[in-house]
Structure 1
Amino acid sequence: MPPARSPQSRRTGARTLTVLLAAAALAAGPLGAARSAPRPTDSEDVTQVSYRGHAFTVPASWQIVDLEKHPDACVRFDRHAVYLGTPGANQKCPARASGRTEALLVQPARAAERAVSENPTARTYRATADRITVTAAYGYDRTRIQDVLRSAGLPVTATPGAPAALPAVAALPADATSFRGEGFDACTAPSQSAMDAWRDNSGYGAIGVYIGGLNRACAQQHLTADWVRTQYTRGWRFFPLYVGRQPSSDGGSCGGGCAAITSPVAQGTAAADDAAAQAAALGFGKGAVLYNDLEHYEPGKTVTAQVLGYIDAYTERLHALGYRSGAYGNTSSLVADLIANRADVTLPDVIHFARWNGTSTTSDASIPSTLWAKHQRIHQYVGDTTETHGGVTISIDRDRLDVD
């Protein structure tokens, strides 16, 4: 663990961070207006999409994907689309994708009552109706996705409510997020056959899985509590990733497709609450490390204050909930800002740093040896590469883990 700060140093750090956040808020303008991306400008022409007796009215510009005809299509919520059917076992997804817009996945299901629940933190609706289950994502246009759901006769609440309670599952053993060795992360959790092939034919022993967040782009057909427990019993370990709000700087890798940090403390706290809930529903119990994914940004006074306020609130709230905090970021942005301001924030317990130098080690010249020194590091050392093991090809990022 990082060295504990004295109460006096923590109070001084809190005051400094508060001043930085206030300055950032003044620079940003009204809440929600800071560097927000424009709303989508779809054509007003519409079309009807029918599936298993249900008709959805959607903008004519949206892509319609028949998953029965295209089982390897990647189901993504960072582009306007309607996906019909069950996602294939081995989707051809990119190694990395982030962002959120209005999109729909309509899958076959057993007969069910018409019902809709919303997770406003993740900007996602879950709906059931006769013979279908719907996942509806939205970015900047919640009203649009509500209209699409209403067009199929699905009830939609007028205002965001609390997300539906997630089912309780037995927690995995405490070492589920501990591992030393080679790992990889992929945009969507692979199928069981793919995981088995890679377990038997690759040198990897840990996998990064994207458990939630409003900027998580890829759908997670396989990521269930049963899937996680099966992988654990077969020897896999995990680093759970949560793609929440992103830095709002120009030139950032997430760009205008991601919802930005505008109210750091409130949004960081909400992200921690949601991450913990999603993790618990998958079997990651208290003590597990939950990594907040913050994509690369250009550091500056305003954006740095926003990021530090957000990750500080995320870490503090996770600690209160009994979880450990992890943070993913580039060595030249998030990691550099955390190091430079370490006296003013509560550092995440584990750092997952990105430097694509091809070197499988958790040491890095930019990170002082005294920080995250006790098995508290992951190095993403190769990004956006494709590998084949046991006849199964997956687009991944490579990681070296030293997490105890």
Structure 2
Amino acid sequence: MKAKLISVVAAAVLAFAGAVAAAGPANAAPQREQLVGQGVDSCAAPSLSQMSAFWNNTPYSAWGVYIGGIDRGCSQPNLTKAWVASVTNQGWHLMPLWVGPQNPCASGFDHFSTNTTTAYSQGKAEAVKAWNAMSALGMATNSPVTYDLEAPGSSTTTCINATKAFVRGWVAQLHVAPAQTAGVYTSTCSGFIDQFTTSPAPDFITGADWDGVLSTSSMSCVSTSHWTQHQRHKQYRGGHNETWNGVTINVDSDCSNGPTLALAPFSGNSACL
């Protein structure tokens, strides 16, 4: 367990290959930064006091936050521009997620079209919505954002092709200037994440592979030759309660070797490589 040695006010930013880096000045906009380290995600963004409890003398440096989308599961009373500024100045790396319409074979959600042309256009439309949400939260124009695709029990060829088209639209639109960094989250196997390599491919992936192994290089059903340049996050454990400094939150466990939203790069846990 590491104690974080980040000074918001006056610590020099160390080289990424080195140890702990400083958070940036208080008036800086959080932007794309690199992270090697552990994190968590939760349905609702915690309060500032809860974030502090999970920061002080814990293993965690990153938090996944659901910034919007028609299928977002929780309200977000804490998630504001001021909240983003406060937690990133504390040193947190954020992983913004957008939860729009889902694979047509996934039950219980709103869906994008099974028609690949329409699905592609819908992916572009969701990217615009995500960009607007990020802008409203004070995130810089190069910030990473992940599309949350919940994996169905099984997918037909029609659903797979539609999903791949949707992802291409999502990525293509986010790459329009001012370009964002486009990511996709889904199950590494049942979400067929390794099939999203067709150009334009996501800049990074977040693979749900609940094997308890922190290493991002170890992902079931994902080729070791794909997304190899610091382009991976891994959700290695599903929802469970954790208590730190007297505060309990239901979280998923994550490991990162990829882009996040922050004020400085951070290299804190080589096991996540």
The TM-score bracket by the shorter chain reads 0.7 to 0.9
Instruction: Could you list the structure 1 runs, at least 4 aligned residues long, displaced by more than 4 angstroms after superposition.
Output: none
Instruction: Output one character per residue of 1:344-396: Cα deviation in whole Å (capped at 9) or x when no partner.
Output: 44210010000101111101252222211011000000001110001000000
Instruction: Output one character per residue of 1:128-186: Cα deviation in whole Å (capped at 9) or x when no partner.
Output: xxxxxxxxxxxxxxxxxxxxxxxxxxxxxxxxxxxxxxxxxx862434x5321001000
SS in 1 for 2:201: coil
Matched residue type, 1:346? P
What does 1:42-121 align with in structure 2 at a 5 Å threshold?
Answer: none
More deviation, 360-369/284-293:
360-369
State the partner residue of 1:331.
188
Cα distance, 1:285–1:357 mapped onto 2, change above 3 Å: same
CA distance in 1, matches of 2:81, 2:183: 21
CA distance in 2, matches of 1:341, 1:324: 15
The yes-or-no answer on 1:402 pairing with 2:253 is no
State the partner residue of 2:235.
380
State the partner residue of 1:319.
175
The structure showing larger relative contact order (alpha-carbon pairs under 8 Å, at least 6 residues apart) is 2
State the partner residue of 1:209.
65
Matched residue type, 2:235? Q
State the partner residue of 1:359.
213
Cα distance, 1:265–1:375 mapped onto 2, change above 3 Å: same
Alignment check: 8 A CA contact 1:189 1:222 kept: yes
Residue of structure 2 aligned with 1:172, choices 16, 29, 33: 29
Matched residue type, 2:226? L
State the partner residue of 1:236.
92
The yes-or-no answer on 1:291 pairing with 2:128 is no
- Output the TM-score relative to the length of structure 1: 0.54
CA distance in 2, matches of 1:278, 1:340: 28
State the partner residue of 1:155.
none
Alignment check: 8 A CA contact 1:171 1:283 kept: no
Alignment check: 8 A CA contact 2:30 2:85 kept: no
The number of residue pairs the alignment matches comes to 226
Instruction: Output one character per residue of 1:218-241: Cα deviation in whole Å (capped at 9) or x when no partner.
Output: 010010011011101111011100
Gaps of 5+ in 2: 1-26, 260-273
Alignment check: 8 A CA contact 2:194 2:221 kept: no
SS in 2 for 1:320: coil
State the partner residue of 1:19.
none
Alignment check: 8 A CA contact 1:171 1:284 kept: no
State the partner residue of 2:270.
none
Q: For residue 192 of structure 1, report the CA deviation from its aligned partner.
A: 0.8
Matched residue type, 2:111? A
Gaps of 5+ in 1: 1-169
Alignment check: 8 A CA contact 2:188 2:220 kept: no
Residue of structure 1 aligned with 2:56, choices 190, 197, 200: 200
State the partner residue of 2:132.
277
**CA RMSD between the two structures:** 1.6
The yes-or-no answer on 1:247 pairing with 2:103 is yes
Q: For residue 397 of structure 1, report the CA deviation from its aligned partner.
A: 0.3
Percent of aligned positions that are identical: 34
CA distance in 1, matches of 2:165, 2:30: 32
